[in-house]
Amino acid sequence: MGVPTAMRDRAGRARSTGSFVVVLGVLAAAFAVTAYVVPRSGRGPVKEEPAAAPVAPVAVRTVSHSVVYELLGAHGARNVTYAATGSALTQHAEVATPWSARFTRVGPDGRTEFYSIAARNPGPGALRCRIVVDGAVVAEKTETEPGRLFSCAV
């Protein structure tokens, strides 16, 4: 069994299938070229934009802040979570009080910084959290209810 290489028209004449494929290929190519060229020719000639002058990078002034997180109480603290250098979260399952964490945070001048510490008061008694930035207390809170999670944030 072979593949037919010719087709017959109504009059019985042989017609090559190869020429049929060629005609379809030519029509497809013509359609593709027309679809590409016609929309672009309606826009007119391409205008070149003037080259922008190179811009020198602006130096960003940075500042550093000394940060201290503190927990004060008689019975320690549980589930301590705080945002440290680079805003990375740090966690401790349990700490003895008094407890503190110190670090320096460096960032662009004028950027609003976020500081946060959360802890659970194991009780009984009070647990106090404090955030000190550059020597000044910026947040302080006391929780007296045992088992209660609370936070200081600014």
* CA distance linking residue 153 with residue 97, whole number of Å: 19
Phi/psi of residue 86, each to 5°? 70, 20
Residue 137: pLDDT band by 50, 70, 90 thresholds?
A: very high
Which tokens hold the place of 44?
């007119």
pLDDT, tens digit, 9 for 90 and up, residues 9-35: 566 655 555 666 666 666 666 666 666
Residue 66: pLDDT band by 50, 70, 90 thresholds?
A: very high
The answer to whether residue 75 scores a pLDDT higher than 90 is yes
Give me the pLDDT at residue 80, please. 96
Provide mean pLDDT across the span 112-129: 92
Provide mean pLDDT across the span 105-119: 89
The answer to whether residue 98 scores a pLDDT higher than 60 is yes
The larger pLDDT score, comparing residue 60 to residue 93, is at 93
pTM of the model: 0.61
Residue 129: pLDDT band by 50, 70, 90 thresholds?
A: very high
Closest CA to 69 of 146, 143, 141: 141
The larger pLDDT score, comparing residue 145 to residue 84, is at 145
Residue 108: pLDDT band by 50, 70, 90 thresholds?
A: confident
Give me the pLDDT at residue 6, please. 53
Provide mean pLDDT across the span 76-88: 87
85 to each of 29, 99, 100, 114, 124, how far by Cα in Å?
A: 61, 18, 15, 11, 32
